[in-house]
Structure 1
Amino acid sequence: MNNTDGGHGRPRLPRLFTWRRPASWWARALLAVGMLLALMLLLRQPLADRLWPQARIDRLLDEGARALAEGRLDAADGQGARQKYEAAQALDSDRGEARAGLARVGRQALANARQAIGARRFDEAHRWLALAAELQLPRAQVDAVAGQLRQAELADIDPGVVRGRAEAALAAGDVEAALPLFAQWLAVAPDDPAALEGREDALSLLLERVRPALRQGDLVGAARWLALTRRHDPGHVALPDLKAAYAQALAAQLRRVEVQRQRGRLAEAARLVTALHEAEPADAAVAQESQRVALALVVHARRQAGDFHFDAAGEALAQARALAPASGALASALVEAQRDLERARAAEARLHVPERTKDAPASMVRRTLAGFDEALRRGDWIEPPGASAYDRLRAAQGLAPGDPAVRAAATRMQSAVAACVEEGLRDNRLRAAQDCHDAWQALAPSDPALAPARRRLAQRWLAVGEERLRAGELEAAAHALDSARRLDPSTPGLEEFAAQLVRARPGLR
């Protein structure tokens, strides 16, 4: 039988493979399997950690034991034995291997402390002791090694050398250097009259600085010197009077901050409260005033953003963030202010036109003012960006700031938003009044009538918050508190209401 090709009579070669698609399919399948295997190889550890957490715990325990054997007890990069055992304990607090591992780390830290004491490396010994204490080894064991360290440090002190250095520092007037030396001297000879007298002289010189510092407003220096005195002689006879004088000066500085804040001198208020925070970082009244100044800076930033003063707005926001932790009302106020700043930037970019006065086409000014009138009729005071009455007015002012029609439009809008605030307050429509207030603030931030209107609106929000609190509507009360704070952080009764709300809803700040 002849193999021919159809009717052409050409012989046909025998075909070894009649269909090539399967070969291509197998190649693709093999490639996919290879990629899957490679992916599983890469992700085997994360998948194992997620699907089999016990495997991850075992791995952490092994890594902790290895780090302990290598002497890496504590490491900031997370690779120390302590960090590995703590990570394993966090995954399963019921397993005792991690607790036992941490105990072994603590015992090794104590052993290292003893070795450091024997080698007279006292700073290193203090660090190992601190680690053992943090790992909650038995107090008696830690105290025993601490006692050895104190004895070794005392034995290392040459009384004659220390006495000479202490007296030289005191004679030079360097009391802050002299006091630690007198402390060493007294540790060796606690009843030495010369050491006691020298320490008393140094403390007297130190405390002489406190009252002049208080008169000059240097609370940071005064606080440091009082703390140093308490550390060396907690029962010093002059301390009670000086502490009372310091407390009075602190209260006076807080009042100064409040006055500066209420007068709108926020840069000075921020400078003063920053110094107070440095002097008393844990003082509740200082922290509270820091929050108030920060909130006032946020309000100022929103005004500056509304007036397209972006650099000033950004600077005020940065100051607010530096003054107080961004939590609670301050956190939400910062988010809203940042949003306002970005929105104002976008609006300014859309409306930016070259400044022209005489050569601006009258038809363009008329069209812009017509858009302004339409937005005014709709009540679109500052929203949406680019199409609001405020943005249209800004565009018209950029085209022809001296045009009588443009100036009349600005006056008309200012009157309209002021009337809108009054109407919203009268009808108890506080959200509408808030929108009109924001437009008024953006349009004329220095208008003397704005501040009393702002205070009334904040007081109304506060009244709503108290009403919601009595009704048990805590979220609505918290929203009203935030609204009042953003408007006027110095509203009378604001902090008292905030305290009531904290008691009603623990965790609120």
Structure 2
Amino acid sequence: MFGDPHALQLDLRDGRSDERPFLRPAAHPQRKWIIALAVAAALVACGVLLRDPLADRLWPEARVHALTADAAAALARGHLTAPDGSGARELYEAARAIDPDQAAPRAGLARVAEAALAQAAAGVEAGRFGEAHAHLRLARDLSIPRERADAIAIRLREREAALAGLDGLVARADAARADGRLHGDASAALPLYARVLVLDPGRADALRGRDDALAALLEQARADLRRGDLQAAAGGIAAARDYDPGHVDLPDTQARLTEELDALRRRAAVDFAGGRLDAAVATWRRLQAFDPDDVAARDGLQQAAAALASRAQRQGADFRFADAETTLSRARALAPDAAAVVAAQSALERARRRHAQLQASAAGSDRADRVPVLLREAAEAEARGDLLTPPGDSAYDHLRAAQAIAPTDPQVRRAVARLLPSARACFERYLSANDLARARRCLGAREALGDSAVAMAADQRRLAQRWLAIGDERLGAGQLQSASAALASAREIDPRTPGIEEFQRRLRVASRE
């Protein structure tokens, strides 16, 4: 019924023969041989390129036997270890790494240890001390019994000592100690005593000499402390500890150094509290030179920088810009990244702009006659409660105009001092009422009136944190635009406020959703 399928294909193709590859006649036998040879060549090439890894994966046992045999040959030649991996130790360890359960590599390493110990002993007797030390280390590394290794080590020290002329070394050390050359170079007393005691740890005259030299060194350190030379004293103490950490005089000398450092810290704190800023800074710098990580010195310099920044801010508020720049430069030299220093720099720039504005507004008038008028108007505005508003007629505006005309006038300065507590109270009142915009204006007034940079920095942080809290509340309510505005206010007030970066990350994630 279906007929011959090949006949059907011929009919459909209009009589043309079927040319599909799988219906072609079988390939010529010679081509089969060519293909087989190509495959074999490829396998050989892969075997050459991947010989060792392939052998390790496919025939690990054979690889272990080969490495073990190579290791045994190296051991027989006395080639115990080599950095290039050809030593008996390295070959046995390679075999053990491939198959940790094989007993032959472990036994081979034990034989390497025995051979190393034997070569160490031979090196001792032949006077090849460097070679003996190297073979002894190898034997210990391969877990030779400790008592056997110690016996060779003792014999090695004895032979080295016999050839080194220990009596001469002790005599040289005694002479150096008598001359006061205790440490610092190889010919000094303590290094010479140390050389002797390495070769003969129980030598009594060297132990006595070292003890006397250390006592003299520590006495010298105590004298350095009495002169105030902390670096020299600390260096002597450290050297003594290196030579003998159990020396009887070491704890007392170390305690005296600690007491001196504590006394310096107390002195700096007292000077700072008493307004002797330069003396306190000098002491803190001295402590920091001795120990860059001294916490008291670091914190003290930060406090000094904040105090100088506050002084610069007050000078800027009085429009004494040259003095303010000098003071701020000193603060910047102590702690350039301190928050109070950064805040004082900003305040000084704003004071300059305000001064220029006030100078322009007062131009052409009788400036000296205006000061009493401005002070009276400031007092009247303060009595009305118009501390910051209305613009141009507030106590703050009148007083700043008076400052621009006569910044050093005693009456002007007294008025500023009187208004500053009101500005502080204004800030606290509006902060408590969560009226953050007005609180910020009060903070600006405090800054312009020369409030302390330390107090200003703390209250800027409080205000910025309050803005972050509002931003968090807005973010929780899905009000992304309000949350972003709150973040911007916090960053503008105090960009270093903790939590700003985390809140920005949360806001960014929420904005993508």
TM-score, reference length from structure 1: 0.45
TM-score, reference length from structure 2: 0.45
Larger radius of gyration: 2
